[in-house]
Chain A
Amino acid sequence: MTARIGVVTFPGSLDDRDALRAVRAVGADAVSLWHKDPSLHEVDAVVLPGGFSYGDYLRTGAIARFSPVMDAVIDGAREGLPVLGVCNGFQVLCEAHLLPGALIRNSGLHFVCTDQPLRIESTSTAWTHDYQLGARAVIPIKNGEGRYVADAHTLDLLEAQGRVVARYAGANPNGSMRDIAGVANEAGNVVGLMPHPEHAIDSLTGPGGDGLPFFTSILKALVAA
């Protein structure tokens, strides 16, 4: 048996097909979810993909957060549904208050697309337990508003609870506080990540396969359950 993993398409989602491909690459069933459809169609986990949902109007992720499908995602996440938000998906999760903090304009003010070395800082989430703690992973980032910010208290709490999922190794590409590239909620089922693991599933179309464990982690967790 395998797991059903849904990928939401908002208007302006761009990496939705890529997320579906990554889900299939690890052997899970990939299910397309439409933003206007409030049903999750009995998926076991959800990926909110990268892109510019609603053209980034107002703020990144601010409008997508009110899509009909997000009511189901938010309710599900609170009950333990695994949710991974990548890039714009991370921004949506922050807007939905499923994750703390916010993502603002890169410190260099430009969009940055590069193969980014990361250090995996937590393997206790549903999406990262297939990594070795401290593992180095090269995964592309590509965003204009990827600078993670939160107040000092929140950052201390995230660190204390082991909820920093990944940090930028080497040069910090966007000015994120404490080099944070991804964070988890307290239960570890919801993870937001600025880099794109769906673009690191092979060396043909990406820098290598370093992003695959995000998808094998969730598949193993779901199949084991």
Chain B
Amino acid sequence: MSGDRLDSVAHAAATPDVALPFAALGLKDDEYARIREILGRRPTSSELAMYSVMWSEHCSYKSSRRHLRVFGERIPPQAKDILLVGMGENAGVVDVGQGFAVTFKAESHNHPSYVEPYQGAATGVGGIVRDILTMGARPIAVMDSLRFGPADAPDTRRVLPGVVAGIGGYGNCLGLPNVGGEVVFDSSYLGNPLVNALCVGVMRTDGIKLATAPGPGNKVILFGARTGGDGIGGASVLASATFEAEGERKRPAVQVGDPFAEKVLIECCLEIFAEDLVAGIQDLGAAGLSCATSELASAGTGGMRVVLDTVPLRDPTLLPEEILMSESQERMCAVVEPAKVPRFMEICAKWDVTATVIGEVTDTKRLQILWRDELIVDVPPRTVAHEGPLYDRPIARPADLDALNADHANALARPSSAQELRDTLLRLVASPNLADKRWITDQYDRYVLGNTALAMPDDAGVLRLDESTNLGIALAIDGNGRYARLDPYAGAQLALGEAYRNVAASGARPMAITDCLNFGSPEDPEVMWQFTEAIRGIADGCYTLGIPVTGGNVSFYNQTGSTPINPTPVIGVLGVIDDVNHRCSIGFKADADEIYLLGHTRDEFGGSEWAHVVHDHLGGRPPAVDFEAERALAALLVEGAGERIWSSAHDLSDGGLAQALVESCLRGGRGARISLPAGIDPFVVLFSESSSRAIVSLAPSGVAAFETLAASRGVKFSKLGVVEGTRLEFTSQFGVALDELRAASAAVLPGLFH
């Protein structure tokens, strides 16, 4: 980087005036000045490379950190006992009982997936799986939350098939079931799709591993794939800036994944964990070796010495700066006591995993890296990993928000005749956001590992943890950018409420959340306002619901030109179910079962799917949030499923009651005859998106028990009708044959993407 001479520490000290390309690496003037101050000299080119990636928005959370603290500070009292590892580690860990700990986290891979859809999405899965593995857990399932531009836009046709194939190609080959998620189309994401991947893993509570490098003299071992020239600067170049027409040219910054290498690495790591051979471990993701070495050293005894020449390379011409910045996939870094190194190496050899001692832990408080016998990095590791810049970005409520909120949906023309209601229902059923997603989800293996008790299109993914006790967990992931655009505080809470409700509907008790916060540029005060409002909403909501935030991910700079995406906080909720045999599907199970609606329906169409599809309208206020009602409903849903009072349960969300009924009919292959309540506009009953609602179906013999239980929980209920026949029939209104509904719903995605 600085001519033909190696830019060693000595050279840097001797040549203080050499100009370094810090701005091209994404560092601001004052940030560069601070690096010079920390080091007391100019950085070497290798040090500059490390600081630039580690101080990027993606790695340092410099714009978000001060706002995220609230999640760690406002842990609900009832959650303190179950949270084994909280914010700040690779992923949070929750005690689910019977000696099992579960770790889960969602992470974005938005920009790489736009630039190179297949590899971008594939390595997104790979990265989050390694985060979970790093905690000491066996990864047991993945989910994904995907957002694209309009379904019929040419660029969506470029991006979506590649993203789906990438998620499937990587996850399937890892042998991880994909058990759910969401797919949303909205013009807001046309130039900036969102690819958020979630992974969940399980371990014994005493098996948790941390990213730390304790004990001077312990060996630092790099193992897994060789280091190549791929993904250099991914974190700083791709993830931490807006990008426009030059997307194509940034393709080399996208990593290339090899799921086979990761599968072998997983099995190898789990064998190493089982023999308790590591003192600390970190995966190599964003910022590669720069991140792993500085974070391990920073969290441990404080010093580390690495001989960079020992790093196994795919390309021997790589420069030291490139080796430090490479984001080559499928690599891990472990800290191992010298006595345990031989056994560690033996296990790696068994799995044909390349493993190399690249350095050792020291007590110097310095991270020192050598190349060709010269010192090229000599820095206090905390300044790289944990004491990066911290910004207090300006915040401003969007200037257009009042006008947007005033443009309420009540003024939109509503269907009133039976024929118009029927047409509306069919139009919504066949709209891309509500249509059957099997064209996508059938590309994912939902069966592998043999513990999937529920998967899409059910409300939540349910996984058995223990074959002897049938203990299980449930997961749901939800977001709604349109609601959040209208009110980010409420929008984040509605996403939280929906995921929480989905988990409860499956029969599991919600326990904890992870979040993936997708926003525009933090340098835009209006975006920062949206961001801080969403965080406040999540923190308040979780506190009220009594479930902790275990960790998460922030993705900024999601915008096209100067137009940010709709703010999109995506929430993953984890629940526990004592006996997976009691999990509840959305499908109607038996003719003559009675169908009940739980919760209150209000006239709420701001940000609704109906307004979006029929009027291409976004305005007004999102549905009201009532977490007390949400808690009561969830408690009822969990109890009713556990006591097997009903045989199906389905949460109401996008598209309202009509869509939920269609889905329960199609999932169960059974029709229904519904009597809409008198005295209220049938359109409101069918399509309003009021929160805290669900439908359940139960045998007539269970009605008494159901009514007693619902009343005791204070949940309003009303009978809707019965399961019967092969049509969805609304008495004295209209009816549609299930075959027609199925055809309308199932044809949409194949028609667009085949």
The chain A residues found within 8 Å of chain B, CB to CB, are 11-12, 14-15, 17-18, 21, 36, 50-52, 54-57, 110-114, 140, 142, 144, 196, 198-199, 204-206
**Least distance between A142 CB and chain B CB atoms (Å):** 5
- Once A204-B580, A205-B464 are accepted as A-B contacts, the answer to whether A55 and B443 lie under 8 Å apart by CB is no
List chain B residues, Cβ under 8 A from A18. 447-450
Q: How far is B175's CA from A21's CA once the two chains are assembled, in angstroms?
A: 16
The chain B residues found within 8 Å of chain A, CB to CB, are 165, 168-169, 172-175, 258-261, 263-264, 350-352, 441-453, 464, 467, 580-581
* Beta-carbon contact of A110 and B443 below 8 Å: yes
Q: How far is B580's CA from A57's CA once the two chains are assembled, in angstroms?
A: 37
Residue of A55, A113, A142, A196 near B261 (CB, 8 A) is A55
**Least distance between B148 CB and chain A CB atoms (Å):** 18
**Least distance between B463 CB and chain A CB atoms (Å):** 9
**Least distance between B169 CB and chain A CB atoms (Å):** 7
Q: List 5 A-B contacts (CB under 8 A).
A: A11-B264, A18-B449, A52-B259, A111-B445, A206-B447
Q: A55-B261, A205-B464 are in contact. List 9 more A-B contacts (CB 8 A).
A: A14-B263, A51-B175, A52-B172, A55-B258, A110-B442, A111-B172, A112-B443, A199-B448, A204-B453
- Once A21-B450, A52-B173 are accepted as A-B contacts, the answer to whether A113 and B445 lie under 8 Å apart by CB is yes
* Beta-carbon contact of B448 and A14 below 8 Å: yes
**Least distance between A175 CB and chain B CB atoms (Å):** 15
Main SS of chain B's interface residues?
Answer: mixed
Q: How far is B328's CA from A68's CA once the two chains are assembled, in angstroms?
A: 31
Q: How far is B175's CA from A15's CA once the two chains are assembled, in angstroms?
A: 8
**Least distance between A201 CB and chain B CB atoms (Å):** 8
**Least distance between B644 CB and chain A CB atoms (Å):** 14
**Least distance between A141 CB and chain B CB atoms (Å):** 10
List chain A residues, Cβ under 8 A from B467. 21
Residue of A111, A112, A140, A204 near B169 (CB, 8 A) is A111
Most interface-central of B169, B258, B260 (chain A CB within 10 A): B260
**In chain A, what residue has the closest Cβ to B351?**
A11
Q: How far is B538's CA from A112's CA once the two chains are assembled, in angstroms?
A: 37
**In chain B, what residue has the closest Cβ to A34?**
B350
List chain B residues, Cβ under 8 A from A199. 447-448, 450
**In chain B, what residue has the closest Cβ to A22?**
B450
Residue of A21, A57, A110, A142 near B447 (CB, 8 A) is A142
**Least distance between A34 CB and chain B CB atoms (Å):** 9
Q: How far is B169's CA from A52's CA once the two chains are assembled, in angstroms?
A: 11
* Beta-carbon contact of B260 and A52 below 8 Å: yes
* Beta-carbon contact of A205 and B450 below 8 Å: yes
List chain B residues, Cβ under 8 A from A36. 350
* Beta-carbon contact of A17 and B172 below 8 Å: no
List chain B residues, Cβ under 8 A from A17. 449-450
- Once A51-B175, A196-B447, A204-B453 are accepted as A-B contacts, the answer to whether A11 and B169 lie under 8 Å apart by CB is no
**Least distance between B468 CB and chain A CB atoms (Å):** 12
- Once A54-B260, A206-B447 are accepted as A-B contacts, the answer to whether A12 and B173 lie under 8 Å apart by CB is yes
Q: How far is B534's CA from A150's CA once the two chains are assembled, in angstroms?
A: 58
- Once A11-B351, A18-B450 are accepted as A-B contacts, the answer to whether A55 and B445 lie under 8 Å apart by CB is no
- Once A17-B450, A204-B464, A204-B580 are accepted as A-B contacts, the answer to whether A12 and B264 lie under 8 Å apart by CB is yes
- Once A114-B442, A205-B464 are accepted as A-B contacts, the answer to whether A55 and B173 lie under 8 Å apart by CB is yes
- Once A11-B264, A54-B260, A113-B443 are accepted as A-B contacts, the answer to whether A205 and B173 lie under 8 Å apart by CB is no
Q: How far is B452's CA from A14's CA once the two chains are assembled, in angstroms?
A: 15
List chain A residues, Cβ under 8 A from B441. 113
**Least distance between A192 CB and chain B CB atoms (Å):** 19
List chain A residues, Cβ under 8 A from B173. 12, 14, 52, 55-56
* Beta-carbon contact of B448 and A110 below 8 Å: no
Q: How far is B172's CA from A205's CA once the two chains are assembled, in angstroms?
A: 17
Q: How far is B352's CA from A146's CA once the two chains are assembled, in angstroms?
A: 28
Most interface-central of B165, B445, B449, B467 (chain A CB within 10 A): B445
**Least distance between A105 CB and chain B CB atoms (Å):** 13
Q: How far is B438's CA from A114's CA once the two chains are assembled, in angstroms?
A: 9
